Amino acid sequence: MNSIITRFPPSPTGYLHVGGARTALFNWLYARNKKGKFVLRIEDTDTVRSTQASVDAIFEAMQWLELDWDEGPFFQTQRFDLYREYLQKLLDSGDAYYCTCTPEEVDAMRQKAKAEGGKPKYDGRCRDRGLPKSDNAVIRFKSPLSGTTVVEDVIKGNIVFQNSEQDDFVICRSDGTPTYNFVVVVDDITMGINTIIRGDDHVMNTPKQILLYKALKASLPVFGHVPMVLGKDKTRLSKRHGAMSVTAYRDMGFLPDAFINYLVRLGWSHGDQEFFTREELVEKFNLESIGKSASVFDMDKLTALNADHIRAASVSELAPRLLPFLQAKGYDAVDDQYLKGVIETLHNRSKTLVEMAEGAHFYYREDVRPYDAKAAKKFFKPEMAKVLASLADQLETLEDMSEKKQEAVFKDLMEQTGLGFGKIAQPVRVALTGTTVSPGIFEMITALGKKRVVDRLKLAVEFIESMGS
């Protein structure tokens, strides 16, 4: 069998959204699973709506998702000579013809057909007139008048279309620009695309494209039309459901591997498995396991899965991803051992990188004061000044700041004071973080380092003593 070649052909008229990203992912995974090729093609023939900013946004999103392409990016606006060559082939073979009917005349034909109970379409008036090329002429494809066109869909099964209901559709406008269905077929033929996975909103285009393939005597690709992604209310996914730019999810602190894990599960399954690494997806992905019903996008499920991926990721993997979020908060953070220690204490309790950056605030503040007022009132009792001062002194003398040695210090302090661990730990937590919520005491002390811990304990002692004076 020939090597599998898939493609992703976004139009640069906006950002890359969830549905488009899932289409790209399915094609990328299938190509990688089959050790084939994945082609990126920018369908920019809509010159009015296409922008360079959208092209850049698509590239940025693809790169964040780490969906690398083997060929391309190709731009349709740079391929017009090729399209003209294929238009001439269809004209020469008699499979296309020039039509000079005005838009008003065509609209009247459609209204008449509709009034007579038929399908509104062009009536073929110029089909056999043999008109020459002219300034106001479009080129129409000569669709067969009888028989059927069958879309052999690997996801939906066979879909049969009656040729009698097909229009002699326009393949080139009067200004010389070729139309979508035509250029897509020419691109897919010339790029060797043999597997097309796309949204099922394209199903109605497929019979037209199959007729073009046959007229150009080209082999048909495998078609697979994927059901749409819906919002929680079962309507088409829109901005109010979370249909934002893919890069917006990056900025919200989602990991790319978590995002593609969630995307692939919107319509594809492998038993009951929910969590997949990128490598597992490449290994297991197939077309047979794509479902036939629409999927529902759920931010809560995405967030929960992201938390799982954060927990599973190594500290070294998380460090460069967390760093921009810390720096955006103005923290003087760098990818060093201190950052890795901070992550070690937070990654099991963070659902997103934004949440992790917020949880890291006390690690990067020089001074955690002012203390939370309620916490200070409850835990900074006058008698705690002596306890915290003693703890600072003992920790300062430690050569080894391992958790085992810290535990020994706390145990000694508990014996000296008769206080339980919680009675000591909560005031320490407030002293070190300014609040009552933090990672475990010992892991936090390890991450902060001896100097910061001792300095903050001493500041807390001064604060407690000042309250009593």
Closest CA to 4 of 41, 39, 37: 37
Closest CA to 365 of 434, 318, 430, 441: 434
CA dist list (Å): 227 to 262, 296, 354: 16, 11, 32
CA dist list (Å): 364 to 26, 332, 448: 41, 7, 9
| DSSP conformation class of 220 | P
Query: Based on C-alpha coordinates, what's the Rg of the chain?
Result: 32
* Number of helices followed by number of strands (H, E) in the chain: 20, 12
Closest CA to 285 of 304, 254, 303, 263: 263
444/268 Cα distance (integer angstroms): 41
247/264 Cα distance (integer angstroms): 17
Q: Active site includes 239?
A: yes
What dihedral angle (degrees, nearest 10) is formed by the CA atoms of 354, 360, 362, 363? -140
Q: Which of 119, 232, 239, 411 is catalytic?
A: 239
Query: b or e along 401-432 (b: 16 or more beta carbons within 10 Å of the residue's beta carbon)?
Result: beeeebeebbeebeeeeebeeeebbbbbbbbb
Q: Which SS3 state, helix, strand or coil, does residue 134 take?
A: coil
H or E element in which residue 97 lies: strand 96-99
User: Catalytic site residues?
Assistant: 239
